[in-house]
Amino acid sequence: MPAEWETHLATYLVWPHNRATWPNKFEPVPAAFARIAVALSECEPVRILVKDASAADEVRRILDAASARMDRIELLHISTNDSWVRDYGPIFVNRLDSNSGARQIALDWRFNSWGEKWGAYDLDDVVPKRLSERFGFEVIEPGIILEGGSIEVNGAGVLLTTESCLLNPNRNPKLNRAEIENHLRSYLGVTRVLWLGEGIVGDDTDGHVDDLARFVNRDTIVTVVESDPADENYRSLQDNLQRLRAMRDQDGRAFKIETLPMPQPVSFEDARLPASYANFYIANRAVLMPTFDCAADDQAAATLGRLFPGREIKRIPCSDLVLGLGAIHCLTQQHPAHS
């Protein structure tokens, strides 16, 4: 599986339409989502899934008003249950064949709405097949439940994930840790699987790694830390930090560990939301970073700017988006260029 910073053919998005995902707060979501589409269209082609022609007309109007590069945006008529394409969209890998060399295939993992938490997911679960019908890429089904936000790779053989998600019995109750690792090695081409512990408070995915720690290059990981010992995220993030410092890469060497702050707590109706600067997305010439209208925004932007030289840090306000319990990385899925 290529690392996210490798060149993209396109990025997939699913236009927000499920009002239950943002209860009592849906109105600002399309405009917030449009900022993501605009920022991406400045860097690479964008493929946006919409319900039908009528929805496409409305999306086109919103994007035109936001000055999106419409020559780089394609609207696809594919119905979905929700917008979190990171978790149910195709995950592309390069399959090595001794006779024909490398060819790109898409993995269609099973999806069950994060442990059957949020209602119907039948349309989401078939998105990889629908996209393959449109674009003609080959699809393979590994046969187990896995969400894209639960894994992070460095493109050189290392995969990072969490115990709280992948070992949760609401995903693959008949598989143990070793069996899950075997699937990851077989289908993603990794040689080393590294495990973090718990996710952040408010994360309904049971602890996706893309809210915790991300590879920024083959030998460097950036992770979120909480500076306030009284904060409910402090202990679990400190545990993850210590685990990262003890981890080794595909060649047995220690990783360089960098840190991002946590934003000040974001809540809605007394519920803590999973706001995290780790939920950034690496586009071809930019990094889209979530912001939460707090002092830590500048510190996070400065850190990511240092870690991604040559890429523009595009700040995307996400205080409204995170009401749906996700942010930029959760709403995007890359289609790597063929190696």
C-beta separation of 51 from 76 below 8 A: no
CA 219-223-228 angle, to 5 degrees, is 150
- Fill in the DSSP letter of residue 11: E
In which residue are the tokens 């974001």 written? 266
Tally the residues of the chain: 339
C-beta separation of 318 from 291 below 8 A: yes
Indicate if 294 belongs to the active site. Answer: no
Q: How many CB atoms lie within 10 A of CB 169?
A: 9
From 261, 264, 245, 262, select the one nearest 253 (Cα to Cα): 245
How far apart are alpha carbons 300 and 295 in whole angstroms?
A: 9
**DSSP string computed for 89-144:** S-EEEEEEETTTEEEEEEE--B--HHHHTSS--HHHHTHHHHHHHHH--EEE---S
From 43, 165, 318, 330, the catalytic residue: 330
In which residue are the tokens 């929700």 written? 82
From 207, 141, 122, 136, select the one nearest 170 (Cα to Cα): 207
CA 137 to chain centre: 21
Both tokens assigned to 161 = 């994930």
CA distances for 56 relative to 48, 52, 127, 287, 329, angstroms: 9, 6, 18, 27, 23
From 130, 84, 90, 134, select the one nearest 109 (Cα to Cα): 90
Residues catalogued as catalytic: 330
